[in-house]
Amino acid sequence: MAAAIKRRVVRQPAPLSEEPPFKKVLIANRGEIALRVILACKELGIQTVAVYSEADRNALHVRFADEEVCIGPAPSAKSYLNIPQVIAAAEVTGAEAIHPGYGFLSENAHFVEVCQACGINFIGPNPEIIRKMGNKAQAKATMLEAGVPLMPGSDGVVETVEEALVTAEKIGYPVIVKASAGGGGRGMRICNNPEELPDMYNTARSEAKIAFGDDAVYMEKYLLEPRHIEVQIMGDLYGNIVHLGERECSIQRRHQKLIEESPSGAISPELRQRICDMAVKAARAVGYYNAGTIEFLLDKRGDFFFMEMNTRVQVEHPVTEMVTGIDIVKEQLRIAAGQRLTFTQEQVVQRGHAIECRINAEDPWKFTPCPGRITALNFPGGPGIRVDTAMYQDAVIPPTYDSMVAKLIAYGNNRNEALARMRRALDTLVIEGVKTTAPLHRKIMDHPDFISGGFSTKWMETFMEEVEAERKAEG
Amino acid sequence: MAAAIKRRVVRQPAPLSEEPPFKKVLIANRGEIALRVILACKELGIQTVAVYSEADRNALHVRFADEEVCIGPAPSAKSYLNIPQVIAAAEVTGAEAIHPGYGFLSENAHFVEVCQACGINFIGPNPEIIRKMGNKAQAKATMLEAGVPLMPGSDGVVETVEEALVTAEKIGYPVIVKASAGGGGRGMRICNNPEELPDMYNTARSEAKIAFGDDAVYMEKYLLEPRHIEVQIMGDLYGNIVHLGERECSIQRRHQKLIEESPSGAISPELRQRICDMAVKAARAVGYYNAGTIEFLLDKRGDFFFMEMNTRVQVEHPVTEMVTGIDIVKEQLRIAAGQRLTFTQEQVVQRGHAIECRINAEDPWKFTPCPGRITALNFPGGPGIRVDTAMYQDAVIPPTYDSMVAKLIAYGNNRNEALARMRRALDTLVIEGVKTTAPLHRKIMDHPDFISGGFSTKWMETFMEEVEAERKAEG
Amino acid sequence: MSTRKKASPSKPSAPASAAPSRRAPSAPKTSSMGLDEIKSLIALVGKEPFQEFEFEAGDMKFRIRKDSIHAPAPQVTYSPAQSATPFGSPVNHLMASAQPAPVQAAPLAAALSPVPLDEPGIHYITSPIVGTFYRSSNPSSPSFVNPGDVVRPGQTLCIVEAMKLMNEIESDISGEIIKVLVENGQPVEYGERLFAARVG
Amino acid sequence: MSTRKKASPSKPSAPASAAPSRRAPSAPKTSSMGLDEIKSLIALVGKEPFQEFEFEAGDMKFRIRKDSIHAPAPQVTYSPAQSATPFGSPVNHLMASAQPAPVQAAPLAAALSPVPLDEPGIHYITSPIVGTFYRSSNPSSPSFVNPGDVVRPGQTLCIVEAMKLMNEIESDISGEIIKVLVENGQPVEYGERLFAARVG
């Protein structure tokens, strides 16, 4: 090995209860998820290779990996997304497998094909699955065929009132009539029954005509206070597919999740059974293996509809790990190495409650990114608190990548205990030098809606209006 | 409130699922345990008062308490052990109750009496129990009466061979004959059967005579590879007493515990039942309430003997919390406020495995304390890791108090997983500026004896000899 | 004696730099150099980016030290037994001032205080115990001392009540009381400043 | 260009304290100096990047100290894109040197390097990609370049193989190759120094 590829003093591996699934794994990612994968590898006795851009020379994933390879300059396209560089790093270090983390190359079917062509094990599903689930239309067609409920709607433009009435009857009220050319709420009407539909339909068309010069409209089911519910799936190469229960991810802002929990307070045991079984069915329909997530929108009435499938580990996987006791990342590594799932569906039990807050280096009220140097740092500890981070005091958060500083995860025997622990965790979290969203999270933890569990994906918008009003009132 | 007693901005308390047991609690301690109690109070919605010596002005327990009172200069006797100052601090802040942590005033019956006289609730048992259990002779007499097994031995000096034989028959072989005036192994003989006893007895006496000028000897049962096993007890004011399973604390050096785990690998379910039932019996015999620990020595053959009872929370309580999911400190607060135990014996389940390493600011091989400033710090995170600490980067560890920097607790679904997690936690722990015992712990985690679980309270001595030899060989 | 100013606004993570020597400037005994020359030297040093300037010539000696906002707060000193302030900005902290005025953040309160801190010749009598501060032995009695009073060592200045005991706090100096720093009936902690006195 | 020296032995977290006083040697003992001379000295010191300046001549003595916070230690610089080294001592790290000599810790290896780092006039040709370094197109061919060779821009210097592709690495300067920094057949990372050349 040349000067380039530094080697750490590697300890005599201790006798392990299980054979390491791989000898050496390269992690094609950065930040907390790269470190998370390194920790899993360490627990399994796998050697690790970190790749890094010049901006991440002093990152913790580099520090704690056994080997490290600089793969390019700061811009992702030239480093973390640069397939030849990543593959070459695996080649020169002799890594047998690549864990992609989330983001970057994790859902890039071409990358998986290159890995395969180079004899490198990609820790995730095969390129066919990734491609199929990455294409919205194809994913929906596959799910439709498999009998997974999709968001009902018209087949394209609805030409007449009569067609509108038939379509609405088919998809069920309330429905939303939307301008095909539209946006911004104009040419949009929500109808609750057939009586008001003809008027609404016509108004929508005229509005659309005025606003966009095109009166074409289509129809979709209108969800009352929808929740984002997703189901964690794991499958092995032998057709075993199990679910690890659901996650509640409705606290989002512009489709960016802020807070996740497991289990969801909106789900009865009966509904859980239905939605999780459906997720397994969906995964089975594409012959899924490794870790994946089926995302659903859940209506107030308990109807749920397939949104998409993520064919990788999720940011919010820790809440599932906390309540099930299953280490999803270690299981990913085992599955990729051809091992069978180490548990059966019957052995998966959701116990207690876990909440995750994503702490971003952003202005807590305006969400403007705030990169910079961390001048003081205290992460909370004590019972029921888990911190997934790659930050340290004196670290610099570069402006180049995403702004996540840490994931704070609180576990309790029930939701109230988890909530109380999250509050005190946020109260004992200290991050100085950059602004973070921690104060926003702290405020949400005290909000009656969040405490009662009565929120939908639309809640954050209302909440931010409240916050804005409060801030204005305070001057 | 005067300038003296600083108040923090206290957030509007969020709606809680339970009424706080107290409005305000003073924590008469420092370091990680003071912070641990503060965290529990925060979770229960209790206001906190930190007391501190001038050396601890910048300690985290001061930073995270709602109020703080300086109670004296650095020496413990003038601050943390100064009863009038602690009581006055509770009086001026209006604290209803005092949590003593461990050490300092936690087992001081007089202090509890002063609390009672001043109308302050002491979070622990009453002074009678503390006094009874604090006096070795009285504790043993109480346990004898309650039918709890004590270490068998002669009643004082054994005058003749005949008496020795009778005594040995009564207490069972192997026995140890010890010089009454002795120490350092001289005048000490281990006998495995009645055949060798007469010779051994006489040799011990002559050796004792030569070494100490006194040939008086006494006899005790000789334990083969004894283990330190302790049982966590919790009782409420209504006579409910339950155990939370056992802890294995055999990795000790000069009676200082270094590593604790739960459950113990040396204990079968049947033995667990027996030893835990016996602990409950012991606690019941003194009308125990609040948290307490019964310590036993466990023989290789499964016989166990009462050593002592600790009438306070233990350093190693987290391992029990991890496997039972019960928050011992929160339960202490509830009990002291007159609430009933929130769980029954049947609801206590040991699940998975937890290991704790005490990281001290000491030379890892010579154990010389190493106070100083922490110049760099990274605590491990990720799944299954809990850190109990009051340290932060730039903090100074004063030479005045104990040298514990942090407790690292690793949890896993089984011992092997907990062990793997502890290894990687130690590998990703960074403490610079002071020497710590982390490297010692890391070495123990790789030792075949520790991995197999085959160790006794005598193991550390052998291990340190091994280490010494290794270090000499390395030059 | 405790200053009770805990957190300086800037993070004192580098104690080495935070411990400048603070010596009172020696009185200039002009000899070889005239006053104007000294003045011009001082003006020059003021323009340069120096923190300290010491000058000695013959029996003349002077020393300049600047305390810009960039410099660490002078009241923060470290001894081995004292740790660094945990984290910089005391955002969560408020310090209730002894006056009935609205609560003030510590540095501001200090700035507003009419008694300059650590002024030469000023001595603070501090509380040796935690308790409640009383200026007189009972509500109907006059205060033990008032600003302007000259006190002797051993003279009772106030009472700090703790555990129902009235502890008389005595003066440890001779001098004039110039300010009572704590309101009657307020709690005090160990080392808290009770009175400011001018020694002499 | 990447220097590949990751961890400096001292932690650069406290740049202020990391700047020990670096005193300029005292001036030779020339006696009595006029005010103008003193002033010019002061002005000079103000311009120079010193932290402290002490001067003694005859019975005159002066000392200047600049605020270290304004002037962080020159060797430690932060750019927004670069973070601080994570923690100080690289105790767990070893860096295998290019030579078959025993492995050396990074700073030591740097010290032993016969080619002075960043010497004026020395240019490093670095690898634009990750891969395996070859000095010739195949084992039986001669090396593209050897120390002493004069190279032109665009001239092939070596091959870095990645994903079975032989990537020719070309010179970006005119100059003389003075050292080959990587052994044949060894892996290299992005930005790694391959050749040292004297420009010209």
Say if the Cβ atoms of B57 and C83 lie within 8 Å. Answer: yes
What's the Cα-to-Cα distance from B16 to each of A425, A440, A446, A453, B381, rounded to whole Å? 16, 20, 10, 14, 28
How far is it, in rounded angstroms, from Cα B429 to Cα A60? 12
- Is the minimum CB–CB distance between A394 and chain C shorter than 8 Å? no
Measured between alpha carbons, how far is B187 from B179 in angstroms, rounded to an integer? 5
Taking Cα atoms as reference points, which of B437, B372, B431, B436 lies closest to residue B400? Answer: B372
Name the more confident of B27 and A224. B27
Q: Are A357 and A441 in contact (CB under 8 A)?
A: yes
Residue A326, pLDDT score: 98
In whole angstroms, give the CA distance from residue D52 to residue D65.
4
CB contact under 8 A, B63 and C87: yes
pLDDT of residue B95: 98
Rounded to 10°, the helix B328-336/B31-44 angle is: 70
Domain spans of chain B?
Answer: 5-123, 152-221, 227-474
DSSP code per residue over A211-256: HHS---EEEEEPPSS-EEEEEEEEE-TTS-EEEEEEEEEEEEETTE
Q: Which two tokens stand for residue A101?
A: 């983390």
Mean pLDDT check: name the lowest of A357-361, B11-15, C79-83, D161-165. C79-83
Contacts of C16 in chain D (CB under 8 A): 14, 16-17
Which of A343-347, B436-440, C100-104, D35-39 is the least confident region? Answer: C100-104
In this structure, what token pair is assigned to residue A141?
């067609």
Closest-CA residue of A relative to C14 is A375
Using a CB–CB cutoff of 8 Å, tell me whether A81 touches chain D.
no
Between CA C84 and CA C92, with CA C90 as vertex, the angle to 5 degrees is 130
Query: Is residue A257 over pLDDT 60?
Result: yes
The larger pLDDT score, comparing residue B179 to residue B235, is at: B235
Chains in contact with B via at least 3 Cβ–Cβ pairs below 8 Å: A, C, D
- What backbone torsions phi and psi does residue A35 show, to the nearest 5 degrees? -65, -40
SS3 label, residue C48:
coil
Residue in chain B lying closest to A39 (CA)? B424
> Which residues, in sequence order, are bridge partners of residue A178?
A188, A218
Residue B54 is given by DSSP the state G
The confidence score (pLDDT) of residue B359 equals 98
Lowest mean pLDDT among A292-301, B35-44, C109-118, C145-154: C109-118
The per-residue pLDDT for range B109-165, each reduced to its tens digit, is: 999 999 999 999 999 999 999 999 998 889 989 999 999 999 888 888 899 999 999
Residue C198 CB contacts under 8 Å (≥ 6 apart), including other chains: C121, C122, C123, C175, C176, C178
pLDDT at A405: 95
Q: Report DSSP letters for B354-410, one per residue.
A: EEEEEEESB-TTT--B--EE--EEE---STTEEEEE---TT-EE-TTS--EEEEEEE
The pair of structure tokens assigned to D73 is 């230690």
Asked if C86 reaches chain A (Cβ–Cβ under 8 Å), the answer is yes
CATH of the domain spanning B5-123: 3.40.50.20
Q: What is the pLDDT of residue B293?
A: 98
Residue C54: per-residue pLDDT: 66
Output A269 or C28, whichever has higher pLDDT: A269
CB-CB neighbors (< 8 A) of B398 in chain C: 80-83
**Is residue C48 predicted with pLDDT exceeding 50?**
yes
Q: Is the pLDDT of residue A301 over 90?
A: no
CB-nearest to B381 from A387, A394, A446 is A387
Burial class (CB in 10 A: 0-12, 13-18, 19+), C183: middle
CB-nearest to C54 from D17, D46, D63 is D63
Q: Exactly one of B189, B312, B386, B421 is catalytic; which is it? A: B312
How far off is chain A from B319, nearest CA to CA, in Å? Answer: 10
Tokens of C41: 């030297």
CA–CA gap between residue C146 and residue C182 (Å, rounded) = 12
pLDDT band at D43 (very low <50, low <70, confident <90, very high): low
Percent of chain C with pLDDT over 70: 42
pLDDT of residue A220: 87
Determine phi and psi for B154, rounding to 5 degrees. Answer: -75, 160
CA distances from C29 to A385, C26, C56 (A): 66, 9, 11
User: CB-based contact (8 Å) between B405 and chain C?
Assistant: no
Say if A42 is an interface residue toward chain D (CB within 8 Å): no
Size of interface A-C (CB pairs under 8 A): 15
What percentage of chain A carries pLDDT values higher than 70?
A: 96
pLDDT band at residue A137 using 50, 70 and 90 as cut-offs: confident
DSSP for C108-158, written as a single string: HHHHH-SSPTT-TTEEEEE-SS-EEEESSSSTTSPPS--TT-EE-TT-EEE
Tell which of D87, D91, D92 to mutate to test the B interface (max B CBs under 10 Å).
D87
Distance CA B473, CA A2 (A): 31
Predicted local distance difference test score (pLDDT) of residue C3: 26
* Chains A, B: CB pairs < 8 Å: 128
At CA B59, angle to CA B58 and CA B65, rounded to 5?
105
Interface test with D, best of C10, C26, C35, C44 (most D CBs within 10 A): C44
- Cα atoms in the Cβ-side hemisphere of radius 13 Å centred on B160: 3
Counted across chains A and D, CB pairs separated by less than 8 A come out at: 142
Residue in this structure with the two tokens 């005292």, named with its chain if needed: D26
Is the pLDDT at C27 greater than 50, yes or no?
Answer: no
Please check whether residue A470 touches B, CB under 8 A: no
- Nearest CB neighbour to C189, from listed B63, B69, B91: B69
pLDDT of residue A185: 66
Mutation for testing the B interface, residue in D10, D13, D83, D85 having most B CBs under 10 Å? D13
Of C15 and A240, the structure prediction assigns the larger pLDDT to A240
Say whether C188 and B2 touch across the interface (CB within 8 A).
yes
What pLDDT score was predicted for residue B154?
Answer: 86
Residue A189 annotated among the catalytic residues of the structure: no
Which parts of D52-145 fold into alpha helices (H)? 106-112
The backbone torsions φ and ψ at residue A173, rounded to the nearest 5 degrees and listed phi first, read: -80, 160
Predicted local distance difference test score (pLDDT) of residue A186: 75
Q: Locate the chain C residue with the closest alpha carbon to D68.
A: C17
> Residues B249, B258: contact at Cβ < 8 Å?
no
- Average of pLDDT values for B301-308? 93
Map tokens 């003194």 to a residue: B286
Q: Answer whether D163 sits within 8 Å of A87, measured CB to CB.
A: yes
pLDDT of residue A306 exceeding 80: yes
Average pLDDT, chain B: 93
Tell me how far apart the alpha carbons of residues A125 and C85 are, in angstroms, rounded to a whole number: 50
**DSSP assignment letter at A11:** P
**C-alpha to C-alpha distance for A308 and A296, rounded to whole angstroms:** 7
What stretch of H or E contains A361? none
In tens, the pLDDT along B356-367 reads 999 999 999 999
> Residue A106 has what DSSP assignment?
T
Does residue B239 surpass a pLDDT of 80? yes
Residue D35, pLDDT score: 66
B430 and D CB contact within 8 Å = yes
What does the alpha-carbon distance between residue D36 and residue A461 come to, in Å, rounded to a whole number?
Answer: 70
Of A201-205, B38-42, D63-67, the poorest mean pLDDT is in: D63-67
pLDDT tens digit sequence for A78-93:
999 999 999 999 999 9
Q: Are A96 and A20 in contact (CB under 8 A)?
A: no
B227-474 CATH, one of 3.30.470.20, 3.10.450.50, 1.20.58.220, 3.40.50.740: 3.30.470.20
- Alpha-carbon distance D103 to nearest alpha carbon in chain B (angstroms): 18
Output the six-digit token pair for D55: 């001067």
Q: Quick check: B398 and C83 CB within 8 A?
A: yes
CA distance B388 to B32: 6
Mean pLDDT value across residues A195-213: 91
Q: Which residues of chain B are within 8 Å of residue D14 when distances are taken between CB atoms?
A: 375
Dihedral, B365, B369, B370, B371 alpha carbons, nearest 10: 160
Contact between B408 and B385 (Cβ < 8 Å): yes
User: How far off is chain C from A412, nearest CA to CA, in Å?
Assistant: 27
Average model confidence (pLDDT) for chain A? 93
Cβ–Cβ < 8 Å for A381, A335:
no
Tell me if residue B436 falls in helix, strand or coil.
coil
What pLDDT, on the 0 to 100 scale, is given for residue B183? 64
Contact B39 A393 (CB under 8 A): no
Residues of D within 8 A of C40 (CB-CB) are 35, 39
Interface test with A, best of C10, C85, C87, C92 (most A CBs within 10 A): C87
Predicted pLDDT of residue B212: 86
CB B22 within 8 A of CB B337: yes
- The SS3 assignment for A346 reads helix
Q: Which residues of A touch C87 (CB under 8 A)?
A: 376, 378, 430, 432
Q: Does C93 touch chain A (CB under 8 A)?
A: no
DSSP string, A33-80: HHHHHHHHHHHHT-EEEEEEEGGGTT-HHHHHSSEEEEEE-SSGGGTT
Q: Which residues are registered as beta bridge partners of C133? A: C160
Residue D104 has pLDDT above 50, yes or no: no
Token digits for C171? Answer: 């003066």
Its CATH architecture, for the domain B152-221, is: 2-Layer Sandwich (3.30)
Q: Is the model's pLDDT at A234 over the cut of 50?
A: yes
Question: What pLDDT digit, counting tens, does each position of A41-66 carry?
Answer: 999 999 999 999 999 999 999 999 99
Query: What number is the average pLDDT over the span B224-230?
Result: 93
Q: Give yes or no for A77 touching D (CB within 8 A).
A: no
**Hey, is the C-beta of A366 within 8 angstroms of any chain D C-beta?**
no
Decide if A383 and B451 are in contact by the 8 Å CB cutoff.
no
pLDDT tier at C22 (50, 70, 90 boundaries)?
Answer: very low
Lowest-pLDDT range of A385-389, C73-77, C112-116: C73-77
Judged against a pLDDT cut of 70, whether residue A7 lies above it is answered with no
Quick check: C86 and B58 CB within 8 A?
A: yes
- Closest CA of chain A from C181, distance in Å: 33
DSSP annotation of C98 = S
Per-residue pLDDT at B80 exceeds 90: yes
Give me the phi and psi of B398, to 5 degrees please.
-75, 155
Catalytic pick among A205, A312, A334, A386: A312
Closest C-alpha to A267, from A285, A249, A294, A242 = A249
Q: In degrees to the nearest 10, what's the CA dihedral of B322, B323, B326, B328?
A: -60
Helix (H) or strand (E) holding D135: none
Is the separation of the CB atoms in D63 and C66 below 8 Å?
Answer: no
Alpha-carbon distance of C176 to C153, in angstroms, equals: 11
Residue B323's pLDDT is 98
pLDDT at B1: 29
What average pLDDT does the structure give for chain C?
A: 65
